[in-house]
Structure 1
Amino acid sequence: MIPVDVAAAFFATAILLGLAPGPDNIFVLTQSALRGPRAGVLVTLGLCTGLVVHTLLVAFGVAAVFAASDLAFTVLKLAGAAYLLYLAWQAFRAPAESIRLGSAAGPGGWALYRRGIVMNVTNPKVSIFFLAFLPQFADPARGPLGVQMMLLGALFMLATLLVFGGVALLAGAIGARLGGSARAQRVMNRVAGTVFALLALKLATTSR
């Protein structure tokens, strides 16, 4: 069992990490601004589902493979970069009508949720981060380390849900004010496409 003070310190740290600008919260922000807070929340749920995968990888030691293998790390990051470039291409070619808030022409709930999962799972740095971060708050004297890792991962997911959910609501409110303007929609779409392309470049050129 993890002591309350250790859990509280871990949760506070996770909140601060969630607030720091990064690919995931920028991804939530752009989707929320384009398609409303519901889209951002769905992407956030997808990202949190991806964190389940990373938590299990760390709990069972598989993340160590990605930390040690250049090939595994490179293949996964390039897959993530390719997916982000695909999203950038979609954003650049989409007409203003297809990004109206609440429009049926945009991606559905499952597609948005899936985007969050793919975005998170294909970033090998998350697994490596978890591999370095979670053990600092675990202690073999408290019981099985795998169980502690899963509990810490659940706390991290809760912090992510709260922070990114707040980002989604705020960005969605701002996007709603601009949603009635076709020109603003086109600008938002171009900005989103640029952000996705830059995130792809960052991921493709990242090192361990």
Structure 2
Amino acid sequence: MPFETWIAFALVWIAFAAFPGPNAVYAMAIGSRRRRVGAIAAAGGFSFAVAVYVTLVAFGLIAFLAASAAAFEVLKWIGVGYLFWLAWQAWHADTDRMNDGTMTVPEAGGIFSKAAMISLTNPKSALAYVLVYPPFLNAGPGFNTDLAILGATSVVLSFLIYTVYGAGAGYFGHFIRSHRQALIRNRCFAAVFAAGGAALAFTDNQ
């Protein structure tokens, strides 16, 4: 793969991954309460989802999802339900200002899993791969190598971007100093998750 092609893909991917959406909101919600460790766990979950999507690209299953209205609808409504569930959790979350940055393995695993599920149950994320990857891939002997390079680039950049989102929210989380401020924080994230679920409910695969 030519270096300039890789650079062009990296820039496109940064724009795609950094665009505000459910992934970024969850990274910030976790970072604002669980500091850098939580942000890293969330970023890891999103990066895992990217790896899954790249694997689906390799097997042509992303194209199937793009072409199948039924598959899109099933995945969409799973995603809608999951976002509303996250909204409920955020609404009822503890009003602690911020923990001390420590986290158990099960807690980190839970954050990782939720992050992965947010991405994997969003059909719009899946369809984005149909748009982003093909212009940078050519059918031929080097297809698998090029896909591996683009996939690894996507995973690494996604991890860095969502870590920055979470760590940035963690920094501003230090300014939350009261129960009321923490409650407002939780309510705001709950509202954003609910809005995301409502928006997803009205999308289609066109």
TM-score of the superposed pair, with normalisation by structure 1:
0.89
Query: 165-174 vs 18-27, which deviates more?
Result: 18-27
State the alpha-carbon separation in 1 of the partners of residues 145 and 78 from structure 2: 30
What is aligned with 1:148? Answer: 146
Matches within 5 A, 1:159-198: 159-178=157-176, 180-198=177-195
For structure 1, the 5+ residue unaligned runs are none
1:125-156 per-residue CA deviation (whole Å, 9 max, x = no partner) reads 22221122111011235x24244223212111
State the alpha-carbon separation in 2 of the partners of residues 137 and 103 from structure 1: 40
What is aligned with 2:126? Answer: 127
State the alpha-carbon separation in 1 of the partners of residues 103 and 201 from structure 2: 30
State the alpha-carbon separation in 2 of the partners of residues 207 and 122 from structure 1: 14
- Amino acid in structure 2 at the alignment position of 1:101: N
SS at 2:133's partner residue?
helix
Give the C-alpha shift of residue 75 in structure 1.
0.6
Question: Is residue 82 of structure 1 aligned with residue 81 of structure 2?
Answer: yes
Query: 123-132 vs 67-76, which deviates more?
Result: 123-132
SS at 1:185's partner residue?
helix
- Residue identity over aligned pairs, in percent, reads 28
Report the CA distance shift for 1:163/1:105 in structure 2 as closer, same or farther (over 3 A): closer
The CA RMSD over aligned residues, in Å, is 2.1
Aligned partner (choices 191, 199, 203) of residue 206 of structure 1: 203
- Amino acid in structure 2 at the alignment position of 1:206: T
Report the CA distance shift for 1:104/1:88 in structure 2 as closer, same or farther (over 3 A): farther
State the alpha-carbon separation in 1 of the partners of residues 142 and 46 from structure 2: 26
Give the C-alpha shift of residue 22 in structure 1.
2.2
For structure 2, the 5+ residue unaligned runs are none
Give the C-alpha shift of residue 105 in structure 1.
10
Query: Is the Cα–Cα contact under 8 Å of residues 56 and 150 in structure 1 kept in the other structure?
Result: no
1:64-104 per-residue CA deviation (whole Å, 9 max, x = no partner) reads 1111111110111111111111111112123424x642488
What is aligned with 1:68? Answer: 67
- Amino acid in structure 2 at the alignment position of 1:60: F
- Amino acid in structure 1 at the alignment position of 2:111: L
Give the C-alpha shift of residue 164 in structure 1.
1.6
Matches within 5 A, 1:3-152: 3-97=2-96, 100-102=98-100, 108-141=107-140, 143-152=141-150
1:151-170 per-residue CA deviation (whole Å, 9 max, x = no partner) reads 21211122212222111111
